[in-house]
Amino acid sequence: MRRTLQELESEALGLPTEARGELAMTLLESLEPSDAEIQERWIREAERRAEEMRSGQVRGEPIDKVLARIRAQLG
């Protein structure tokens, strides 16, 4: 027999406090991407940005100009 969400919730709420906390952490962690997935996403983003630079689609700006603009905006 397949339990409903309400049944699972009711059963979970009946657990001792420590067990509910562990269950909550497990459920929250299951919603977050893994470290490997995050790393892969950053690699793809870096590759995409590098290709934009190589193709001339975007231009880089010297760090001293970027920092000067930020300092001016901050006051």
Query: What range defines the domain where residue 5 resides?
Result: 1-32
Q: Has residue 23 got a pLDDT over 90? A: yes
| Pair 19, 47 in one domain | no
Q: What is the DSSP letter of 58?
A: S
| Pair 38, 74 in one domain | yes
Range from 25-29, 35-39, 42-46 that averages highest in pLDDT: 42-46
Contact (Cβ atoms closer than 8 angstroms) between residue 53 and residue 60: yes
pLDDT band at 29 (very low <50, low <70, confident <90, very high): confident
Answer left, alpha or beta for residue 56, where phi above 0 means left and psi between -120 and 50 means alpha: left
Q: What is the Cα Rg of the chain in Å?
A: 24
| Pair 45, 25 in one domain | no
C-alpha pair distances (Å), 60 with each of 10, 55, 73: 56, 12, 20
| Pair 44, 61 in one domain | yes
| Pair 52, 18 in one domain | no
- pTM for this entry: 0.50
pLDDT band at 1 (very low <50, low <70, confident <90, very high): low
pLDDT of residue 64: 96
Q: Has residue 57 got a pLDDT over 90? A: yes
| Pair 11, 40 in one domain | no
Number of domains in the chain: 2
